[in-house]
Amino acid sequence: MGEVRIGVYICHCGKNIGGVINPSRVAEFASKLPNVVVARDYMYMCSSPGQMLIEEDIKRHNLNRVIVAACSPRMHEPTFQGVLKKAGLNPWLLEMVNIREHVTWVHEDVPDKAEEKAKELVYAAVMRAQHLYEITIHRLPVVKSALVIGGGIAGIRAALDLANAGIKVYLVEKKQSIGGKMAQLDKTFPTLDCSKCILTPLMVDVARHPNITIYAYSEVVDVSGSAGDFKVKVRLKPTYVDWSKCTGCGYCTERCPARAPREFDEGLGTRKAIYFDFPQAVPRRPVIDPKYCLWFTKGICRACEKLCPVGAIDFNQKDRYIELNVGAIIVATGYELYDMTKLREYGYGKYKNVITGLQLERLSDADGPTKGKIVRLSDGKEPETVAIVLCAGSRDEKHVRYCCRFGCAAAIKHVYYVKHSVPEAKVFVLYTDIRAFGKGYEEFYQRLRGMDDVYFIRGRPAEIFEAKDGSLIFDVFDSNTGQLLSIKADLVVLESAVVPPKDWESLRRMLKISCDPGGFALELHPKLRPFETTADGIFLAGAIQGPKDIPDTVAHAAAAAAAAIGFLSKGEVESTPYLAVVNEDLCSGCGLCASVCPFDAIEIKEEGGRRIAKVNVIRCKGCGACAATCPSGAMQQNYFTDTQIVSEVSALAGGAK
């Protein structure tokens, strides 16, 4: 850029700076520093006349560096960058000196020292400014489509919001129907709405929406590219039914002779080998389970093939792969229940009458294995006494440390199920704390707590034993009354802890997003940006960010969709100004930079017979870890090069000359 010509501007900020130090003296000091062409002070630099003053100076004195000594750059850096831009200068030729927050506001009691410090900081900025250079912001166009991974209530809500905003949405669901956990619930707390009645219309909306394509029974196997332009490979698992021919009539499922445990009923009921997930499945297309199908296991039958009126059965189907090109990704993979067999003292899996809360949902559902009757699994009898155990695995150092956030309200709802199905039943609720935090939850709790024969006991059961008749016996210490109680129950319901899905870890690595100690996806900021990730263009919806109940999940999903819409409608993605840049002449291709990059933004590529580090300008977030690691100085960080930092450090260490 040739000769360095610096303008220095010292702001009074009214009395905030000017009341402690003398800005004119600082300006006069600055005017004698190397390559400083002009130095001035002004009452309010950020005001319109202040900005104009700088703009005119840039033109009149042909300035190519501007130093503003005023408030924190976190406050007005963008303001003054705008001034440079307006005057035709690259905004990164600006250097701000923080003489308010870091000087006059904290050293008011020693004004002489404060002024000396202000001068030294200005001196260091002048030394650093010698090495500033123009920075190019890279812009890439955004592909205006989105991938939603997971078709539970979070994915459904996000997909609908995106599609309604005119964005093409691909919804990938690993099961054969969308609907997720909410479809398995009988009712929802605290309103006791029928869960399916509020969910299935949305499922139909998704299927009918012209902007949404559902890939059910599918999974994401590879993600490449970056924000605005992701390439996603999806595996369509073999269903052995040609879904494009199938009409969903269901003849095949009626005549299939093979039976298997029904996953949708949490293993309680049975289904055929060719089956729908549940009657309201979307898409309503069956799948053949080769583990149980007689053709796959014994080489006989093929009844479905003979019966199908449209010839949709295809026993030779193989994995198929498709590639999607999307600008944004919404992760809505939801949660799983913690494996209750790990809580050996409760006997789940060993004792028939110990069930999970989700299994109770299936018993209570009119469409479930018992047509909505709550019974003991050992003998089908109505239970006289039911014990509901909260925090099964949650808030427990041996299992899961965090709270599941819906167990309490679910347990209260389960009290209702039991009392509704068997009004004379006794219900014991064994809790750690009742956290009825949501809207209407406390009222719901008080209502159910006041019912006859419902006992809330603050304590966790000791080991559970099974009596000969299948009922369950255990002791529990009630910490409210200080009594040790002995309880005999016909049915024990465990409100399970919540964990991320088993296959989440591989997807998380594909997406290159981090996780919290519980394994859930890490949000960009726990309070201000809970639905964004450190990876641009990738958003979080629902329980994959952490356990959530339905209202929170829906709110979170809608927020994620809104953030994705905002991101996509901008039309292009911008690189960070603080980009890592490689001096290819110095790079030896050792790859240390790539190994420390938290965003996988650096690749070592073969070029002209040698290995060179290449930076993905959109992935790079500008932390500078690579620059600090590079042994040859080939990797530098824009606005924070070794030379820029060292010249500032050296000036501050040595003091003003």
Partner 1 sequence: MGERFEPRIVVFACNWCSYAGIDLAGVSRIKYPHNVRIVKVMCSGRVHPEMVLKALVDGADGVLITGCHPGDCHYISGNYKTMRRYLLLRKLLRQLGLEERVRLEWISASEGDRWAKVATDFVEHIRRLGPLRLKEVMSAE
CB of 310 to partner 1, least distance (A): 52
Structure-token match 């935090």, residue found: 437
Is 102 one of the binding residues for partner 1 (CB under 8 A)? Answer: yes
Is 483 one of the binding residues for partner 1 (CB under 8 A)? Answer: no
Of the residues 1, 110, 204, 462, which one makes contact with partner 1 according to CB under 8 A: 110
Is 25 one of the binding residues for partner 1 (CB under 8 A)? Answer: no
CB of 97 to partner 1, least distance (A): 10
CB of 113 to partner 1, least distance (A): 4
- Closer to partner 1 by CB, 296 or 402: give it: 402
Is 624 one of the binding residues for partner 1 (CB under 8 A)? Answer: yes
- Closer to partner 1 by CB, 210 or 517: give it: 517
Of the residues 578, 581, 612, 614, which one makes contact with partner 1 according to CB under 8 A: 578
Structure tokens at 570: 């901008």
Is 654 one of the binding residues for partner 1 (CB under 8 A)? Answer: yes
Is 100 one of the binding residues for partner 1 (CB under 8 A)? Answer: yes
Radius of gyration of the chain (CA): 32
Q: Which residues contact 52 (CB under 8 A, 6 or more apart)?
A: none
- Closer to partner 1 by CB, 451 or 649: give it: 649
CB of 74 to partner 1, least distance (A): 6
Stretch binding partner 1 (CB under 8 A), from 38-46, 371-379, 548-556, 625-633: 625-633
- Closer to partner 1 by CB, 108 or 323: give it: 108
Is 262 one of the binding residues for partner 1 (CB under 8 A)? Answer: no
Length of the chain: 657
Nearest partner of 533 among 568, 508, 570, judged by Cα = 508
CB of 21 to partner 1, least distance (A): 11
Which whole-number Å values give the CA distances from 553 to 157, 326, 558, 626, in the listed order? 9, 24, 9, 37
Is 642 one of the binding residues for partner 1 (CB under 8 A)? Answer: yes
Which whole-number Å values give the CA distances from 463 to 91, 350, 371, 403, 542, in the listed order? 68, 13, 32, 22, 34
Show the DSSP H helices in 88-183 as ranges.
Answer: 111-129, 153-164
How many residues sit in the footprint of partner 1 (CB under 8 A)?
48
Stretch binding partner 1 (CB under 8 A), from 404-412, 496-504, 562-570, 616-624: 616-624
DSSP bridge pairs for 229: 226
**Dist CA 79 CA 75 (whole Å):** 8
Of the residues 114, 185, 429, 434, which one makes contact with partner 1 according to CB under 8 A: 114
Is 645 one of the binding residues for partner 1 (CB under 8 A)? Answer: yes
DSSP code of 45? T
- Closer to partner 1 by CB, 37 or 635: give it: 635
CB of 598 to partner 1, least distance (A): 4
How many other C-beta atoms can be found within 10 angstroms of the C-beta atom of residue 423?
10
Is 600 one of the binding residues for partner 1 (CB under 8 A)? Answer: no
CB of 582 to partner 1, least distance (A): 16
Structure tokens at 540: 């979080």
Would you say 254 and 358 are in contact if contact means Cβ atoms under 8 Å apart? no
DSSP bridge pairs for 386: 427, 491
- 337-356 residues near partner 1, rule: CB under 8 A: none
Is 621 one of the binding residues for partner 1 (CB under 8 A)? Answer: yes
The DSSP-derived string for 426-451 is EEEEEES-----STTHHHHHHHHHTS
**Dist CA 501 CA 496 (whole Å):** 14
Q: Are strands 187-188 and 168-172 parallel, antiparallel or unpaired?
A: unpaired
Is 319 one of the binding residues for partner 1 (CB under 8 A)? Answer: no
Is 113 one of the binding residues for partner 1 (CB under 8 A)? Answer: yes
Of the residues 57, 361, 536, 648, which one makes contact with partner 1 according to CB under 8 A: 648
Of the residues 381, 598, 632, 643, which one makes contact with partner 1 according to CB under 8 A: 598
Rounded to 5 degrees, φ, ψ at 31 are: -65, -20
CB of 401 to partner 1, least distance (A): 14
Helix then strand then coil, in percent of the chain rounded to 5, is: 30, 25, 45
**Dist CA 330 CA 541 (whole Å):** 7
CB of 652 to partner 1, least distance (A): 4
Stretch binding partner 1 (CB under 8 A), from 113-121, 321-329, 403-411, 461-469: 113-121
Which whole-number Å values give the CA distances from 31 to 13, 67, 505, in the listed order? 20, 12, 58
**Dist CA 67 CA 37 (whole Å):** 11
Structure-token match 């210490």, residue found: 477
Stretch binding partner 1 (CB under 8 A), from 149-157, 332-340, 350-358, 635-643: 635-643
- Closer to partner 1 by CB, 199 or 602: give it: 602
Of the residues 44, 455, 477, 640, which one makes contact with partner 1 according to CB under 8 A: 640
CB of 595 to partner 1, least distance (A): 11
Which whole-number Å values give the CA distances from 63 to 15, 77, 130, 137, 609, in the listed order? 29, 18, 12, 22, 43
- 47-86 residues near partner 1, rule: CB under 8 A: 72-74
Rounded to 5 degrees, φ, ψ at 530 are: -80, -5
Which whole-number Å values give the CA distances from 316 to 174, 219, 275, 276, 295, in the listed order? 21, 20, 18, 20, 11
| Contact mark string toward partner 1, 115..144, x via CB under 8 A | -xx--xx--x--------------------
Would you say 518 and 395 are in contact if contact means Cβ atoms under 8 Å apart? no
Query: 418 by DSSP, 3-state: which?
Result: helix
The DSSP-derived string for 628-646 is HH-SSS-EEETTS-HHHHH
CB of 335 to partner 1, least distance (A): 22
Give the CA count within 13 Å in the CB-facing half-sphere of 496. 21
- 488-547 residues near partner 1, rule: CB under 8 A: 514, 522, 534
CB of 596 to partner 1, least distance (A): 6
Of the residues 108, 267, 355, 421, which one makes contact with partner 1 according to CB under 8 A: 108
- Closer to partner 1 by CB, 414 or 621: give it: 621
- Closer to partner 1 by CB, 372 or 622: give it: 622
Is 107 one of the binding residues for partner 1 (CB under 8 A)? Answer: yes
How many other C-beta atoms can be found within 10 angstroms of the C-beta atom of residue 583?
13
DSSP code of 583? -
Residues that bind partner 1 (CB under 8 A): 72-74, 98, 100-103, 105-110, 113-114, 116-117, 120-121, 124, 514, 522, 534, 578, 596, 598-599, 621-625, 627-629, 637, 640, 642, 645-646, 648-650, 652-655
